[in-house]
Structure 1
Amino acid sequence: MIDLGYSLSRRFPDPPQTDYRTADVHALRHDLFCGDVYLADVKADRELSTAWGWVPVLDFAWALCDVIELLDQDPRGNRSAQTQFAELDFTESTDCLVFERRFGWVDVTADWAPDEAPLNFNHRALRREARDFLHDLVADLTDMHEGLADNPAVWDLLARFPRV
């Protein structure tokens, strides 16, 4: 079972004058909603998490959905023995998560934890959880920030990655 989560930082709050209705993609992905994120394998009781406080959590969810789609480029899908690689780089950092897909399984490693064994997930389940995480995160953020639900970039994002 996969668990994706986040916490917003109190050390890096959004600027009080932010108009979430008109915030551009750059602001949504790099400047707003800072905190920490984690990706956990509940069954194995292991996780990869950040503890930096400055990770843009909406960008993480957005990039995770992009990465999962990149791993699905081989037309053979789950039958493909060829390993496919993708990286999720963290904004303002050299740290990244590395995703390797072979057959229907994805190994996830963090370069800041090189001695940790990779987390291993079913690709289809990871896609579903990533999209659910994105939609749940946007729902939480729109509850907290007036106008965010009216932002066209958010509409486009949710339409691009519908729940599966």
Structure 2
Amino acid sequence: MLDIGYSLSRRFPDPPQTDYRRVGVHDLRHDLFCGDVYLADTKADREVSTAWGWVPVLDFAWALCDIVELLDQDPRGSRSAKPQFAELDFTESTDRMLFERRFGWVDIAADWMPVEEPPITFSHRLLRREARDFLHDLIADLTDMHDGLADNPVIWDLQARFPRMPA
């Protein structure tokens, strides 16, 4: 089972004067909602997580949805034996989260993990569904906390681009 989660940082609060109705893509992706994120294999009790406190969590959710789609470019889909690669780089460091899809499975590892530690692995279909659920749940949490964010057209576009998937 895949669990994707986050925690917001108290060390990097969002500026109180922010007009969330009008904030642009750059600020939404890089300057607001900082904290930490994780992807966990709850069955194996393993995870890939950050512990820095400054990761823009909305950007992470957005980038994760983009990566899942990028890993689905081969027209053979889950029948493809050719590996497909993607990486999520963290802007403020050289650390990267690494994704490799072969057949219908995606291995997820990170630069900061010990070399001998194997990646966590999920089906591409599950990763797509959970990434989109995480994005929508995160947006719901953030719009509850920040007045006006639900009225931001960038958020509307993001939700329309990555709709929830049926179970």
TM-score scaled by length of structure 1: 0.99
Whichever residue aligns with residue 76 of structure 1, its letter is R
2: CA distance between counterparts of 1:65 and 1:7? 19
- Equivalent residue number for residue 51 of structure 1: 51
Corresponding letter in the other structure for 1:162: P
Cα offset, 1:90, TM superposition? 1.2
Distance 1:152 1:92 in 2: 27
Partner of 2:85: 85
Aligned to 1:143: 144
Contact 1:34 1:57 in 2 (8 A): yes
User: Which residue identity lines up with residue 132 of structure 1 in the other structure?
Assistant: D
Identity among equivalent pairs (%) = 81
The residue aligned with 2:130 is 129
Taking the aligned partners of 2:134 and 2:6, their CA distance within structure 1 comes to: 9
Deviation at 1:161, TM superposition (A): 0.3
User: Which residue of structure 1 aligns with residue 35 of structure 2?
Assistant: 35
Local SS of the residue matching 1:38: strand
Q: Offset of 1:91 from its aligned partner? A: 2.1
Deviations 1:139-159 (A, max 9, x none): 000000000000000000000
Q: What stretches of structure 2 of length at least 5 have no aligned partner?
A: none
Q: Residue 93 of structure 1: CA displacement?
A: 1.4
Name structure 1 gaps, 5 residues minimum: none
Q: Which runs of 4+ in 1 moved over 3 A?
A: none
Which deviates further from its counterpart, 136-145 or 107-116?
107-116
Q: Output the amino acid matched with 1:120.
A: T
For the residues of structure 2 that align with 1:33 and 1:158, how far apart are their CA atoms?
Answer: 17
Aligned-partner SS, 1:136: helix
Q: Please list the CA deviations of residues 39-74 of structure 1 after superposition, one character each: whole Å capped at 9, or x if unmatched.
A: 000111000110000000000000000000000000
Deviation for aligned residue 1:104: 0.1
Counterpart amino acid of residue 37 in structure 1: V
Query: Does residue 70 of the first structure (1) align with residue 70 of the second (2)?
Result: yes
Q: 1:92 offset after TM fit, Å?
A: 1.3
| 2:164 paired residue number | 163
RMSD between superposed Cα atoms in Å: 0.6
Residue 106 of structure 1 corresponds to 106
2:97 maps to 1:97: yes
Distance 2:103 2:131 in 1: 19
Q: Aligned to 1:126, what secondary structure does the other structure show?
A: helix
Cα distance in structure 2, aligned partners of 1:32 and 1:19: 12
Structure 2: distance between partners of 1:92 and 1:155: 27
- Check the 8 A contact 1:105/1:121 in 2, yes or no: yes
Question: Matched residue of 2:19: which SS?
Answer: coil
